[in-house]
């Protein structure tokens, strides 16, 4: 892998980490506001980093599966039906 691709991957991983951190913080704040007396446990930086790594790796898996679905349909473009096929494994995602 050349340094350009490595730096791009690092940038994307950092963006995922930042976004996961924001989502965790926002959800914790929302939960605390909804349940005034109950304090939710804070997520450690290590747990956030691990969750971000899982999100990144799952995104890679999903991207590969989407490419296979499009290729199986003899297309070079991933379409919404490919995403729907991917989401069928996760019923809560199909509702989105």
Q: What is the pLDDT confidence band of residue 33, given thresholds at 50, 70 and 90? A: confident
Average pLDDT, the chain: 88
Higher pLDDT, 96 or 33: 33
Do the Cβ atoms of 68 and 62 come closer than 8 Å? no
Asked whether the beta carbons of 72 and 79 are under 8 A apart, the reply is no
Instruction: Note the pLDDT of residue 40.
Output: 67
Centroid of chain to Cα 37: 31
Residue 51's domain spans which residues? 3-94
User: For residue 96, how many C-alpha atoms fall within 13 Å in the half-sphere facing its CB?
Assistant: 11
Q: What is the CATH number of the domain that holds 74?
A: 1.10.20.10
Per-residue confidence (pLDDT) for residue 3, from 0 to 100: 80
Phi and psi based region of residue 92 (left: phi greater than 0; alpha: psi -120 to 50; beta: remaining): alpha
Q: Specify the number of domains making up the chain.
A: 1
Instruction: Kindly report, residue by residue over 39-50, the tens digit of the pLDDT.
Output: 667 889 999 999
Output the pLDDT for position 92: 77
15 pLDDT more than 80: yes
């Amino acid at each position: 892998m050349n340094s350009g691709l490595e730096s791009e991957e690092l940038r994307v991983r950092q963006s995922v980490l930042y976004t996961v951190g924001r989502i965790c913080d926002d959800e914790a704040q929302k939960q605390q506001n909804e349940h005034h007396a109950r304090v939710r446990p804070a997520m450690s930086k290590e747990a956030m980093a691990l969750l971000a790594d899982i999100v990144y790796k799952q995104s890679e898996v999903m991207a590969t599966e989407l490419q296979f679905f499009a290729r199986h349909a003899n297309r070079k473009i991933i379409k919404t039906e490919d995403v729907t096929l991917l989401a069928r494994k996760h019923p809560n995602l199909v509702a989105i």
